[in-house]
Amino acid sequence: MTLYQSLADRLQVLIRDQVYPVGSRLPGVRVLAEQQQVSVSTAVNACRELEQRGVLEARPRSGYYVRQPPVVREPPRVTTASRRPRRITGQERVLQILQNVNNPSVVNLGAAVPAPEYMPVAAMERVFHSVLREERRRCVGYAFPPGAPELCTQVARRLAGLQCEVSPEDVLITNSCQESVAIALKLTTQPGDTVAIESPTYYGLLQVIDSLGLKALEIPTDPEEGISLEALTLALERWKVSACVVVSNFSNPLGVRLSDTRKQALLALLSKHKVPLVEDDIYGDLPLSGPRPRPVKSWDRTGLVYYCSSSSKTLSAGLRVGWLVTPERHREKAQYLQFINTVSVATPSQLVLARYLERGHYDRFLRQLCGEHARGVARMTERVTQLFPQQTRVSRPAGGFVLWVELPGEVDTTELMEKALEAGVSFAPGSLFSASGKFANCLRLNCAVKWDNRVEQALVTLSRLL
């Protein structure tokens, strides 16, 4: 734990013990630093941490105030296990939700796409200009798989910082995390095979499974602990499973982070059954508090893990750049599969991302971004708690920027979506996150929206439709 986190913990105890009651103002950061014998920057970081935890509120030119603790709702329930592997159905509606992201008359609470306000647009523009100026000749050509060497190096460096043994030669640049997952599944399965997945899970994964002619075996996933290792154990004993796909850090839609202990147990279990793990770590850089967690890949010593990620949730979904780290035995086949998919990933995009990472501002940007997401998630949770029916259950994501909401009673959120779209609001209906039509009474909300009157109004509209 860092110095500022332990100071934040100490301050939180003082707040709990009413030394600083609700509504009171904390001493200014300089006074706090002196009192607690820490540097001013540690005091500032501790206050920011408490702001992210929803304990303090920053008031411009006035200081940090203790917030009213929010009413805490129960987390959504864990579903029962699938009875058998099954083919995917009903994913065609996803495109309708995604098309509305770019429709200015619809408030996008549906797709997990951060509003441009959260992306480093100005920094990206500068990097684009410098790349187009200095790398003109390369920009008009292909950057064949495995991709631009400088980007492979940057990705390997970041993974080294997460204790993964990965060299630049292990990295394959792809068009997206989705393509990385698809290539990993092509490497590990044959049409008709079964893939074990979290439930609920990201709908894009269901589409990939569908397009490859695979079957999904849904494993119950706890909103606070992640995929049930007990259920997975039983499934592996009962069915022939060819691969397991897990979003290990801040899954979509639950936002749950597997603890380090559970990550190691997952790896041991899959290793015992010789089942490869396709690890999707697209949200790993986005903790709502605390440090960036390690991926499962960092414990992999036998080449069981296929590591997938991209820059879509952090820097730019528009770049369309992702990466895949395969075990060495599959390196060449993975490159060939990427090549026959699209020949090459766009060269300017690769060079821009490499240069942005080389400039070394990424971590600072991430700290700011995670703070924004923590505020967005806290605010959305508060408004849903105030506006939605009494027995509504709400996830408590540890990272990322989406909320999973379970509504009481017989609501069908797919039907609700049609009415919501007519009223200018989009959300993602729960059944999209299941291969078997589960979660009809759930919905997912995107919290990375620019919070203004339209968003407030959209939530009021949604609550009325409920």
Ligand X SMILES: Cc1ncc(COP(=O)(O)O)c(C=O)c1O
Distance (Å, rounded) from C-alpha 435 to C-alpha 194? 12
Shortest distance (Å) from residue 412 CB to ligand X = 23
Minimum distance from residue 295 beta carbon to ligand X (Å):
13
Task: Name the residue nearer to ligand X (CB basis): 252 or 434.
Answer: 252
Query: At closest approach, how far in Å is the CB of 114 from ligand X?
Result: 10
Residue closer to ligand X (CB basis): 45 or 108: 108
Q: How far is the CB of 321 from ligand X (least distance, A)?
A: 8
Considering the complex, state which of residue 202 and residue 388 has its C-beta at the smaller distance from ligand X. 202
Nearest to ligand X of 47, 177 (CB atom): 177
Shortest Å distance, C-beta 257 to ligand X = 13
Exactly one of 127, 209, 247, 445 binds ligand X (CB under 6 A); that residue is 247
> Which of residues 108 and 252 has its CB atom nearest to ligand X in the complex?
252
> Residue 308 Cβ, how far from ligand X at the closest point, in Å?
8
Nearer to ligand X, 246 or 459 (CB): 246
Instruction: Give a three-class secondary structure readout of the chain.
Output: CCHHHHHHHHHHHHHHCCCCCCCCECCCHHHHHHHHCCCHHHHHHHHHHHHHCCCEEEECCCEEEECCCCCCCCCCCCCCCCCCCECCCCHHHHHHHHHHHHCCCCEECCCCCCCHHHCCHHHHHHHHHHHHHHCHHHHCCCCCCCCCHHHHHHHHHHHHCCCCCCCHHHEEEECCHHHHHHHHHHHHCCCCCEEEEEECCCHHHHHHHHHCCCEEEEEEEECCCEECHHHHHHHHHHCCCCEEEECCCCCCCCCCCCCHHHHHHHHHHHHHCCCCEEEECCCCCCECCCCCCCCHHHHCCCCCEEEEEECCCCCCCCCCCEEEECCHHHHHHHHHHHHHHHCCCCHHHHHHHHHHHHCCCHHHHHHHHHHHHHHHHHHHHHHHHHHCCCCCEECCCCECCEEEEECCCCCCHHHHHHHHHHCCEECEEHHHHCCCCCCCCEEEEECCCCCCHHHHHHHHHHHHHC
By beta-carbon proximity to ligand X, the closer residue of 95 and 268 is 95
Question: In the stretch 369-398, what mask flags binding to ligand X with x, by CB under 6 A?
Answer: ------------------------------
Q: Which residues in the 107-146 window bind ligand X by CB under 6 A? A: 112
Q: Which of 242, 260, 144 is nearest to 184 (CA)?
A: 242
Of 139 and 177, the one with the shorter C-beta distance to ligand X is 177
Buried b (16+ CB within 10 A) or exposed e, 10-31: ebbeebeeeebeeeeebeebee
Compute the least distance from the CB of residue 313 to ligand X, in Å.
7
- Cα–Cα–Cα angle for 32, 35, 36, nearest 5°? 85
Q: Is there binding between residue 312 and ligand X (CB under 6 A)?
A: yes
Here's the x/- map for ligand X, 143-172, by CB under 6 A: it reads as ------------------------------
Q: What is the largest CA-CA distance in the chain?
A: 65
Tokens of 339: 């090549």
Return the residue of 45, 82, 178, 441 that touches ligand X, per CB under 6 A: 178
8 A C-beta contact, residue 445 and residue 380: yes
Looking at beta carbons only, is 252 or 335 nearer to ligand X? Answer: 252
Binding of ligand X by 177 (CB under 6 A): yes
Looking at residues 188 to 217 of the shown chain, list those that interact with ligand X (rule: CB under 6 A).
202, 204
Q: Minimal distance in Å, beta carbon 19 to ligand X?
A: 41
Q: Using the rule CB under 6 A, which residue among 51, 170, 280, 406 binds ligand X?
A: 280
| Shortest CB 182 distance to ligand X, Å | 9
Asked if residue 322 binds ligand X (CB under 6 A), the reply is yes
Taking CB under 6 A as the binding criterion, the range among 44-52, 174-182, 230-238, 414-422 that sits at the site for ligand X is 174-182
Binding-site residue total for ligand X (CB under 6 A)?
Answer: 14
| Closer residue to ligand X in complex, CB, 56/282 | 282
Report how far apart, in Å, the C-alpha atoms of 24 and of each of 14, 64, 378 are.
12, 9, 20
Residue number of the CB closest to ligand X reads 176
98 is a contact residue toward ligand X (CB under 6 A)? no
Contacts of 415 (CB under 8 A, 6+ apart): none
Decide: is 218 part of the binding site for ligand X (CB under 6 A).
no
Compute the least distance from the CB of residue 434 to ligand X, in Å.
15
- For ligand X, the closer of residues 298 and 349 by Cβ is 349
In the list 189, 310, 335, 446, the residue contacting ligand X (rule: CB under 6 A) is: 310
CB closer to ligand X, 32 vs 352: 352
The residue to which tokens 């996933």 are assigned: 221
- Provide the binding-site residues for ligand X, judged by CB under 6 A: 112, 176-178, 202, 204, 247, 252, 280, 282, 310, 312, 317, 322
